Structure 1
């Protein structure tokens, strides 16, 4: 059973619903698994707790 972990800054519930549907569909199509076999976890981190290129994401906004 595949487990997908997505690390990101916070997103709306609507966007997450759309993403999990598309990821699940991709796994069911390619791996020929039932949707119930796919697990997806979101690990959301606020912008003040991650950086890119030496700059906090909160400072980029």
Structure 2
């Protein structure tokens, strides 16, 4: 049973639903397994809990969060 973990900034429920659907579909197609055997976990991290280049995300300009 595949377990997929997605780490990302917070996103809307609609986006997470669509991503979960597409990830599930891809695993089911490639591995030839039923959809309900695929689990997707979303781990959402805000800017106070990550850093890039030694700078906390909350201290970075909005455009620099990629």
Q: TM-score, normalised by structure 2?
A: 0.84
What is residue 12 of structure 2 aligned with on the other side? 12
What is residue 46 of structure 2 aligned with on the other side? 46
Number of residue pairs aligned between Structure 1 and Structure 2: 61
Displacement of 1:15 in angstroms is 0.7
| Alignment gaps of 5+ in structure 2 | none
What is residue 26 of structure 2 aligned with on the other side? 26
Greater relative contact order, per chain length (Cα 8 Å cut-off, separation 6+):
1
The secondary structure found in structure 2 opposite 1:6 is: strand
Runs of at least 4 residues of structure 1 off by over 6 A? none
